Amino acid sequence: MSRQVFFYDPPDRFVAGTVGLPGRRTFFLQASAGSRTTSVALEKTQVAALAERIDELLDEVVRRTGGNAPVPAVAPPDVTDSAPLDSPVEEEFRVGTMALAWDGDEQRMIIEAQALVELDADTEDDLAEAEERMLQDEENGPPMLRVRLTGAQARAFAKRALDVVNAGRPPCPLCSLPLDPEGHVCPRQNGYRRGA
């Protein structure tokens, strides 16, 4: 069976969003163009890492080109997208690995999110071999979402993604772990709460 690649060049919309209540949210990347929409699930930490790496890569592009690349320093208001995810949100796959690149000829950022794959291996050498074969197999690899964005679209995506990550549960003032609505056992207080 050949690899399924969901390719958007360019997407009408590419955003990070969530479904569910804080503490029980599922995070998604969603790309759409015309009547076609692709949603892939991932972890909150993956969304945060992707947004941070996009900003770092764009900053590096600006630095290396001496400011001549069409990359804004901050997300332009005209490309800001604060609308919820398009419904229904149907998960195509869960993201395992992601990759970023800058196409200097086309002045576009390329974002790839590849499906999580369980590899059978008895030893670490077997696992490394299996991973290498999977990465080299362009035709039969796991499903992938590939999106090409302008510098402005990439900045807007990164800003929204960080906003979505930070919109969750408030952090504990002592340990910085998220506060649960049902209560919080703070490791800084050894789970012990003094009386008033």
CA distance 80 to 176: 29
Main-chain dihedrals φ then ψ at residue 170, nearest 5 degrees: -70, 150
Q: Which residue do the tokens 């958007």 mark? A: 8
Q: Is the peptide bond before 10 cis (omega within 30 degrees of 0)?
A: yes
Average pLDDT over residues 10-35: 92
DSSP state of 79: G
Give the distance from CA 167 to its chain's centroid: 15
107 torsion bin: left (phi>0), alpha (psi -120 to 50), beta (else): left
pTM of the model: 0.79
Domain ranges of the chain: 5-171
pLDDT digits (tens, 9 = 90+) for 68-99: 888 888 888 888 898 999 999 999 999 999 99
Q: Which residue has the higher pLDDT, 3 or 147?
A: 147
Domain 5-171 has CATH 3.30.2450: yes
Residue 183 pLDDT: 72
Lowest mean pLDDT among 108-112, 159-163, 177-181: 177-181
For residues 36 and 193, the model is more confident at 36
- pLDDT digit string, tens, across residues 119-152: 666 667 765 666 666 555 566 788 999 999 999 9
For 161, the token pair is: 């993604």
Local structure of residue 81 (DSSP, 8 states): -
